Structure 1
Amino acid sequence: MRDSHTTARFTVARRSLVAALCAALSLAACAKAEPGGGPGNGDGAAGGYEVLELRYQGFVGAVSVLELAEDLGYLAPIKLNYVGNTISGPQDIQTVVTGDTDVGHAFNGAVIKLIAAGAPLRAVVGSYGVDAKRWSGFYVTEDSPIRSARDLIGKKVAMNTLGAHHELMLKEYLSRQGLTSAEIAQVTLVVLPPVSTEQALRQKQVDVAVLGDVLRDKALERGGIRALFSDFELFGEFTAGSYVLTTRFLRENPNSTRKLVEAAARAIEWARAAPRDEAVARLRSIIERRQRNEDASVVKYWTSMGVAGKGGLLSAKEYKIWIDWLVKDGEIKEGQIKPEDLYTNQLNPFAATPAQ
């Protein structure tokens, strides 16, 4: 397992990557950093769409909003081009900046940090969130001596990546419980794929594990673990992550972008309204048909996409809370970035109706 020195190296590496991306954006070679879209039909022959293919990364055992939208037929004639899997939202949107994919999604805090570093990105529609049905908990084994935030000092906490949703949730919890910055720094963060986290917890390789959604419910069904806290307890219902595109893609492919946003918005509302059994059956069918050697059985625990805004509408408050946190944590400067620099709802067909 990784120790605190390794965790520090992860943090340094992450900051170095952001710095490198920022530097790259200042060079003429940054043309690749703002791709005009993946291979497609550039003549707009199909209904005026500038590109007919969108490169993206998937998550093992999960169906994203865009994957659901394509399966429902909402994205046609545009198609998704799967280029591989990721376990990290920050990595997913970094590939959009470097031009290796056309669309990606991540925790809004990670989106803020990358745009603040100079990345030419804009969030266009919600991708996931937290509600009473879909949330992530920080779990320990039943026999663990850990009962409070202070008990986490010197302990190892497993999560899918650094600098994103789970790290900020942990720091918020520790801060609310009165720990100082120096004490919070003594909690070691360990990066593990979500599918491996439960096993690491049960084998005592880590002291705390973040478990969310279907993986959480599957672990709870096996028993022997208990929750310390959850992101829903901390913040209630909120859209936590967004799909992003480069500003160049937005500028050069307005019709394809509008179709992407519309498809995602409709898929979010379909998932909200569909009977749970119908939704689960469709998600299982998507996983089975795409043949990526995944376990589709966990989909039976699916409950919600968790997106708060109607049709994935984004709101300033869902970015402002993380801007304030990142300023307090010293990751960005006061006034460096504003919510309106980060997202747009102009392409969302639900923008004319009140957000819910």
Structure 2
Amino acid sequence: MPSSPRRPLGRRDFLRLGLSTLPTAAVLSGCAASSAAPRGETTVVRYQGWSGQVTFPELAADLGLLGDVHLEWIGNTTSGPQDIQATVTGDIDIGGAFNGSILRLVAAGAPITAVVSYYGSDALSNAGYFVLDGSPLRGAADLHGAAVGMNTVGAHHQDVLGIYLRRNGFSDSEIRDVQPVVVPPVSSEQALRSGQLDVSTMTGAVSEKAKARGGIRTLFTDFELLGAFSAGCYVLRDEFIAANPGTTRALVAGIAKAVRWSQTRPYPEVVARFTDIIRRRGRNEDTKTAAYWRSSGVAGPGGAIAAREFSHWLERLVESGVIQPGAVDVSRIHTNEFNPFA
């Protein structure tokens, strides 16, 4: 956990970074620490959800893994960068985003610490960059000037695209010539099929449904490019951790055990649990989305964070001039202190 002071993050920083719009018993016994929050600490943790999805804090609560800690849902988020921005401003207490987005905020002075990984890419769950079957685009060399759809800029899909192009010989100016276009995930397939995009990035249920309808093919995936990796973490404000160490430990340990539960339980059991949670919480959501879950994609057991899961992206961000050399010390922006599986 970081100990050095950081410059307060202002609205200008957000604008500069492009973030302003942005077996059960065995698994559940993985933590010996108490799940009770000491007196004087908050026991209510505010968070944002995702429509049609179950987050790991929600799964942890449903499995009874949070002890005295209670979640307060304040609405749904639109993207990871928006979620961690809301965490920085204090509108919520815990938020999750792509590790590259976390690096951008920390470089701008955000007093946050990554505490547990919650999503990633593997052979079953990954981000695909899709084109139409009849598209002339066959590889990186064909992407000069292409419009590439993604859910937000300055995050996972844009950074993976940058690495793909760089590995295929693109200069920084040529990479900037490939245009990221912000498209809501629910509209990404239609935007591709209607010709508004040359390439569309799709994940999860959106990509599964699009592939089932046919007429599209994969240009590449982040898993093919980088192998299996954890891609994003939940973060807490440093002041929240300092004021609520017991709550922090109970919260993070519960989330870690929920991640481990999803990593070790049979696929049908996980999908059934997700479907039941979505139905019972009564947010007028489509429960069919849960059936498209394939895996958490999280590489480390229980979401344990590996330093390379930040240093990999930091290297690219420094190389492209987004973050200045030496502005971020990877060892000080994440911690496994509260994770019983680390």
TM-score normalized with structure 2 length: 0.88
Q: Using the alignment, how far apart are the partners of 2:311 and 2:146 within structure 1? A: 30
Q: Using the alignment, how far apart are the partners of 1:163 and 1:150 within structure 2? A: 23
Q: Is the 8 A contact 1:87 1:194 kept in 2?
A: no
Q: Using the alignment, how far apart are the partners of 2:115 and 2:72 within structure 1? A: 19
Shift of 1:311: 1.1
1:48 aligns with 2:38: yes
Q: Is the 8 A contact 1:218 1:298 kept in 2?
A: no
Q: Gaps (5+ residues) in structure 1?
A: 1-11, 22-45, 352-356
1:107 aligns with 2:106: no
Match of residue 227 from structure 1: 218
Shift of 1:92: 0.5
Q: Is the 8 A contact 1:63 1:283 kept in 2?
A: yes
Of 116, 137, 141, which residue of structure 1 is paired with 2:132?
A: 141
1:246 aligns with 2:237: yes
Of 103, 109, 116, which residue of structure 2 is paired with 1:118?
A: 109
TM-score normalized with structure 1 length: 0.85
1:84 aligns with 2:83: no
Match of residue 169 from structure 2: 178
Q: Using the alignment, how far apart are the partners of 1:258 and 1:293 within structure 2? A: 32
Q: Is the 8 A contact 2:18 2:153 kept in 1?
A: no
* Distance 1:252-1:19 versus aligned 2 partners, 3 A rule: farther
Shift of 1:19: 9.8
**TM alignment of 1:186-201, pairs within 5 A:** 186-201=177-192
Match of residue 59 from structure 1: 50
Shift of 1:294: 2.0
Q: Using the alignment, how far apart are the partners of 2:13 and 2:296 within structure 1? A: 28
Q: Is the 8 A contact 2:18 2:154 kept in 1?
A: no
Look up the SS of the partner of 1:70 in the other structure.
Answer: helix
Of 267, 283, 286, which residue of structure 1 is paired with 2:277?
A: 286
Match of residue 15 from structure 2: 16
Match of residue 346 from structure 1: 337
Look up the SS of the partner of 1:132 in the other structure.
Answer: coil
Q: Using the alignment, how far apart are the partners of 2:99 and 2:160 within structure 1? A: 12
Shift of 1:298: 2.1
Shift of 1:324: 0.7
Of 244, 261, 266, which residue of structure 2 is paired with 1:270?
A: 261
Between the two proteins, the alignment pairs up a number of residues equal to 316
* Distance 1:57-1:302 versus aligned 2 partners, 3 A rule: same
Q: Is the 8 A contact 2:19 2:81 kept in 1?
A: no
Shift of 1:13: 8.2
Letter of the aligned partner of 1:266 in structure 2?
Answer: K
Deviations 1:107-155 (A, max 9, x none): 0011011011100000011111111111010001111111111222222
Look up the SS of the partner of 2:341 in the other structure.
Answer: helix
Deviations 1:145-196 (A, max 9, x none): 1111122222211101000100001111111111222221111111111111
Shift of 1:15: 5.0
Look up the SS of the partner of 2:148 in the other structure.
Answer: strand
Letter of the aligned partner of 1:48 in structure 2?
Answer: P
Q: Is the 8 A contact 1:19 1:117 kept in 2?
A: no
Q: Using the alignment, how far apart are the partners of 1:105 and 1:220 within structure 2? A: 28
Look up the SS of the partner of 2:64 in the other structure.
Answer: coil
Shift of 1:47: 5.0
Q: Using the alignment, how far apart are the partners of 1:19 and 1:168 within structure 2? A: 13
Shift of 1:291: 2.3
Look up the SS of the partner of 1:185 in the other structure.
Answer: helix
Q: Gaps (5+ residues) in structure 2?
A: 1-10, 21-35
Q: Is the 8 A contact 1:120 1:247 kept in 2?
A: yes
Q: Runs of at least 4 residues of structure 1 off by over 6 A?
A: none
Match of residue 62 from structure 2: 71
